[in-house]
């Protein structure tokens, strides 16, 4: 286990940083990375290095690490949190900054591009992260799909906690397997015909894999059982993603991402805590929510400076980080503070010093 400073698992900070860097590169710098991997003027060793980075920097690998990390940390916090405490903390961890991002995206699209404000019948499900049940398009240039899955996972884990499964966690691997099989045979959700077809059926499995890794590491369930169930879930993902997202079946990003997480877990005691890793880790949520849609608004004034493409993108990324730093220290921290106040008022027996 990595150093635990004030309840903080340091190796997970490294995983968060990798996840959002992978997504950022995949969305905004993948062209440059691919070009470098194919640049014949570079030495073959350098090209191989860039080629090796491509599967980890498509963005998809970052998403897999994000889900595994989430499954791991949710299993960790539920060891002590009550169901009520868990729900309150998750709400104020996810929704305040997310809602702010949606409102900003909507306003800027209207103000700068003349796009009408959607009606409440669209905005409400979008703001609540339940748009998949109403066929509401994804928001924030598509990145909110991961949060839609997260919310479903939180609900399921709260049900498991209330049902007493965390009192006998040896049964949890079987519970995760049953739910995963149900997802595997269930109708495609979201439906076929979209870029995001079956993402709930497929990517939810990595949340359970993260939970299985925690159970195995902490000896809360049979290691053999956790490995067996986790292997089945990985195979189910590979089959499902090949069927509904065939463009991804030629990439090993999921296996590489899982190997990266397991490697980080193994070397966790050697991973150093520090100011930089904590600051960057704290920014991961705001960068994830804002990077893909706000990029275009930063790009216009930056491009007027006449910089080359790569320097222009790096400057945009710097401005993005500064914006997200401000949002983390205002909107995000305010939401966490409100959650802490509610915890102290309605659930005073629970330690609410941090909303992980």
Q: Is residue 281 part of a domain?
A: yes
| Residue 4: predicted pLDDT | 52
CA–CA gap between residue 1 and residue 3 (Å, rounded) = 7
Return all residues near 124 (Cβ < 8 A) that are at least 6 apart: none
Q: How confident is the model at residue 212 (pLDDT cuts 50, 70, 90)?
A: very high
- Tell me if 115 is assigned to some domain: yes
Contact 136, 122 (CB under 8 A): yes
Residue 353 within a domain:
no
The pLDDT of residue 350: 52
Q: Which of 64-73, 191-200, 223-232, 342-351 has the lowest mean pLDDT?
A: 342-351
Question: What's the pLDDT at 355?
Answer: 47
pTM: 0.93
Name the residue range of residue 162's domain: 4-346
Taking residues 120-129, report their average pLDDT. Answer: 96
356 inside domain: no
Q: Given pLDDT bands bounded at 50, 70 and 90, which one contains residue 58?
A: confident
Residue 257 CA to chain centroid, in angstroms? 13
Question: What's the whole-number mean pLDDT along residues 196-207?
Answer: 92
What pLDDT sits at residue 59?
83
Domain membership flag for residue 220: yes
Q: Is residue 187 part of a domain?
A: yes
User: 54 pLDDT exceeds 50?
Assistant: yes
| % pLDDT > 90, the chain | 83
Tell me the per-residue pLDDT of 102-121, one tens digit each, with 9 for 90 and over: 999 999 999 999 999 999 99
Q: How many CB atoms lie within 10 A of CB 81?
A: 23
Residue 174 lies in a domain: yes
| Residue 324, token pair as written in the block | 């997200």
Segment 321-332 mean pLDDT? 97
Mean pLDDT across 261-276: 94
Q: What's the total number of domains in the chain? A: 1
User: 355 in a domain, yes or no?
Assistant: no
351 has pLDDT over 80: no
């Amino acid at each position: 286990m990595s150093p635990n400073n004030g309840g903080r698992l340091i190796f997970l900070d490294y995983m968060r940083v990798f996840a959002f860097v992978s997504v950022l590169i995949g969305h905004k710098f993948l062209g440059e990375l691919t070009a470098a991997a194919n640049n014949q003027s570079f030495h073959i060793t350098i090209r191989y290095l860039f080629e090796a980075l491509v599967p980890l920097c498509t963005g998809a690998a970052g998403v897999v690490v994000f889900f595994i990390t989430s499954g791991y940390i949710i299993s960790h916090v539920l060891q002590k949190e009550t169901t009520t405490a868990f729900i309150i903390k998750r709400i104020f961890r996810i929704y305040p900054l997310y809602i702010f991002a949606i409102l900003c995206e909507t306003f800027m699209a209207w103000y700068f591009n003349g796009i009408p404000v959607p009606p409440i019948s669209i905005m409400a499900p979008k703001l609540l992260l339940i748009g998949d049940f109403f066929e509401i398009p994804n928001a924030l240039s598509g990145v909110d799909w991961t949060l839609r899955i997260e919310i479903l996972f939180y609900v399921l884990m709260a049900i498991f906690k209330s049902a007493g499964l965390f009192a006998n966690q040896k049964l949890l691997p079987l519970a995760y397997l049953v739910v995963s099989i149900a997802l595997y045979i269930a109708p495609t959700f979201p439906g076929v015909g979209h870029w995001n077809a079956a993402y709930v059926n497929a990517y939810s499995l990595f949340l359970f894999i993260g939970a299985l890794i925690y159970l195995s590491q902490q000896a809360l369930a049979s290691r053999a059982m956790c490995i067996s169930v986790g292997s089945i879930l990985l195979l189910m993902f590979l089959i499902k993603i090949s069927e509904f997202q065939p463009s991804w079946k030629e990439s090993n990003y999921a296996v590489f991402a899982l190997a990266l997480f397991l490697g980080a877990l193994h070397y966790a005691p050697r991973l150093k805590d520090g100011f930089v890793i904590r600051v960057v880790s704290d920014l991961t949520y705001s960068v994830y929510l804002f990077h893909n849609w706000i990029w275009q608004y930063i790009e216009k004034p930056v491009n007027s400076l006449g910089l080359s493409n790569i320097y222009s993108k790096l400057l945009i990324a710097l401005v993005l980080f500064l914006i997200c730093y401000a949002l983390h220290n205002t909107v995000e921290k305010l939401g966490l503070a409100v959650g802490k106040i509610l915890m102290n008022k309605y659930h005073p027996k629970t330690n609410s010093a941090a909303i992980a």
